Chain A
Amino acid sequence: MLEVRNVSKQFKSGDHTIKPVNDVSFSLEQGTFAAILGKSGSGKSTLLSLLGALDKATSGDVMVDGVNVSTLPDGKLTAYRRNDIGFVFQQYNLVPNLTAKENVMLPMEFARVRRSERQARAAELLEQVELEADVHDRKANRLSGGQQQRVSIARALANNPKIILADEPTGNLDEQTGELIIELLRSLTRTQNTTVLVVTHDMALARKTDRRFRLAKGSLAEEFDRSRAR
């Protein structure tokens, strides 16, 4: 269960105060596939960073299963990002000189999982995102965009997170590959009961989600679309 209550973020830019996220509240049941839609610069990424504890909100609370993430100290935030959150980025953000498998093993290493266990689970996760065994030991910078995004999803899943936050996961992919990635994320909500929150401006992606929110000028509103693809 993810609950967001009155979250605001403001920056000072010269004399102006910018509020990319302004008094946002919503909640998602565990296992929901949700999308936040919005134009570039509407504050989508900022909101995502607040939910993933990459940045701190100016005010408001982010609750994950009853734990208020906003008030956690830095050390606990690291643990929160490691254990409860999985990130998927538009730029994939794999470590380029590590192999696909090593990239997936990284979060488990930080969680102090034994090496043999890490290797076994990484291979398993890569299989799950439908990457063949022959690319497991290929360097990340030698993989195609679609392959990299699969590796990054496998990495996000490594520590069995409650929530996966995806920032434009299909933004750099062609339509066909993008659809495969969407299907993959969607299946996670079904098979693993993982909450997946996708930030996107891709309507094709948004149509596949359970719930959709639109962020405009820092304010969030849920959209109830009759042409929902379910």
Chain B
Amino acid sequence: MLSVLARSVGNAFRNKVRSGAVVVILAVAIGLAMSMLVANQAVGDRISALKGSVGNNLTVNPAGARGFQGGGEPLTAADVTKAKAVAHVSSVTGTLSLRLRTETATTTAQAGTQAGTAQGGPGGGDGTTSLQSAVEPGTLGNRQNQSGAQSGQGPQGAPGSGNGGNGNGTVRTFTLPVSATGVAGTEDANGNTINVTSGKQLSNFAATSTQALVGTTLAQKNNLKVGSTFTVDSTKMTVAGIFDGGTVFDNNGIYLPLAAAQKLTGQTGQISALTVKVDSIENVDSTKTSLTNALGSTRVDVTAGSRNLDSAVSSLASVQNISLIAFIAALVTAGLIVLLIMIMVVRERRREIGVLKAIGAPNRTIGLQFVLEALVLVVIGAVVGTAVAVFSSSGIASALVSANTATAGARGGRGGFGGGGFGGFGGGAQLIGNLTTTIGPGTLLGGLGAVLLIAALGALVPAWLTAKVRPIEVLRGE
């Protein structure tokens, strides 16, 4: 066996120029195959990451309610437990949305209009705060305030509305309430991590916690820094961090620990909405149904987030397919190269094969010798090719992805989806981001295994041909 291997290695380099050329060609084919395999895996990983991280949110609201509008019964901690038990649910975040009236505004209003008449902010408030809203009411705020005040008049303003009711809408000075969200972790109601720009995330989620996060504009308006204090329903809260929510509306809000927010406003155990993360985008629809069933369709409304990720995922999936096909094609090419070169070698050495048979070599020894000779060439080609792939696969994968997303985008535009389609896709392309490839030992071994297998297959035909060579070839003249 050892001698057969030694002969095979020796034979592989009998014609150094040809063997060198074959190794180079094999290296290119194998390098391409390995690059494609790596690209395939990188894209595959990215697809599953995308499917598991974006567009897989479900929002659970109390039936008939959205935010501060509508009615119905609030969700409870029991609903969180139930939602967590549903299949394919990877996480459940409960949040409590509050609107806090500004204490000073209330005082002013009380002074001007008698006690008890100014309770109705738009839609009613959940508590009070020392903070001043950073957003001026403007036309929209005043319009809401009026309708809110009028609609709120009946139930809320009833005790003291006898004489002051008329003058309320016009005399009263009005400031917008500050929106507060009770959170149980570092994520907001949409499941995204709160972007804290200075200070720290909330860390104490006990009911007695006094930590709070304040939006940038709200902090500016009220001269708050990390460590400053303000009150919520007369309880002193400390600013743990300042966050940037990206929008004027978001930055006019605060985050409180959920339990503390519930306790402060007397809504213990109540939750306004649940954000449910599903393990993969594929399971969103089925999970939506099972979640509705688990919580009761009369009690909750379950809504799925936007799905514009689909186009990104499908274009990535086509890249994955292309790279898989290219991997197979490159492998087959490598196999064909081995096949053809070995057929050539066998024809060239018919006489020598005849000699070996004449001096008593069994067919399988000769066949093995030729298979090993082919494998020697392939192994050298694979080593060189893999080295090339290590350096080039990242570029190839990125090129594949960007080329494919560009064509997909152009196709979308031509297809008449117009700006919407394209915009949706733009979002997808952003989500794809930069593709980074790494060659793991598993990928490497799998790829090399496939290369060796196909090379062995390519060498088997010539080996079979050697078995067909008759020993009498040895007597044939040159």
Which A residues contact B (CB, under 8 angstroms)?
45, 48-49, 52-55, 75, 78-79, 81-83, 87, 89, 91, 93, 95, 97-98, 105-107, 109-111, 115, 155-156, 159, 167
Contacts and interface: CB of A to CB of B under 8 A. Distances in A.
B383 interface: no
A82 B360 contact: yes
A81 B471 contact: yes
A109 B355 contact: no
25 contacts: A45-B475, A52-B358, A54-B357, A54-B358, A54-B471, A55-B470, A55-B472, A78-B357, A79-B360, A81-B357, A81-B359, A82-B360, A82-B361, A87-B359, A87-B474, A89-B355, A89-B475, A91-B478, A93-B358, A95-B7, A95-B352, A106-B361, A107-B359, A156-B359, A159-B360
A49 B355 contact: no
A167 B359 CA distance: 14
Nearest to A156: B359
Contacts of B361: 78, 82, 106, 110
B14 interface: yes
Top 5 nearest A-B pairs by Cβ distance?
A82-B360, A54-B471, A54-B472, A93-B355, A107-B359
Contacts of A55: 470-472
A54 B360 contact: no
Contacts of B358: 52, 54, 81, 87, 93
A105 B7 CA distance: 12
A77 to B, nearest CB: 9
Interface in B244-263: none
B351 interface: yes
B266 interface: no
Contact of A110 (B11, B351, B365): B365
Given A54-B470, A93-B351, A110-B365, A155 B475 contact: no
A52 B357 CA distance: 11
Given A98-B7, A109-B3, A110-B365, A49 B475 contact: yes
B64 interface: no
Contact of A106 (B356, B475, B478): B356
A82 B359 contact: yes
A81 B10 CA distance: 26
A105 B2 CA distance: 13
A105 B360 CA distance: 12
B67 interface: no
B269 interface: no
A169 to B, nearest CB: 13
A104 to B, nearest CB: 10
A228 B324 CA distance: 78
Chain B CB within 10 A, most for which of A45, A55, A110: A110
Contacts of A93: 351-352, 355, 358, 474
B167 interface: no
Contacts of B355: 89, 93, 95
A55 B357 CA distance: 11
Contacts of A87: 358-359, 474
**Dominant secondary structure at the B interface:** helix
Contacts of B14: 97
B72 interface: no
Contact of A54 (B351, B363, B475, B478): B475
A115 B4 CA distance: 12
Nearest to A82: B360
B279 to A, nearest CB: 60
Contacts of A167: 475
Given A52-B358, A55-B471, A83-B360, 8 more contacts: A54-B354, A78-B361, A89-B474, A93-B352, A93-B474, A95-B7, A110-B360, A115-B2
A98 B357 contact: no
B433 interface: no
Interface in B343-377: 351-352, 354-363, 365
A119 B352 CA distance: 22
A45 B473 CA distance: 12
Contacts of B363: 78
Contacts of B3: 105, 109, 115
B358 to A, nearest CB: 5
A155 B359 contact: yes
B406 to A, nearest CB: 54
Interface string B223-252: 000000000000000000000000000000
B109 to A, nearest CB: 105
A106 B11 contact: no
Contacts of B474: 54, 87, 89, 93
A53 B360 CA distance: 11
A75 B356 CA distance: 14
B10 A107 contact: no
Interface string B1-33: 011000100110010000000000000000000
B15 to A, nearest CB: 10
B114 to A, nearest CB: 113
Contacts of A83: 360
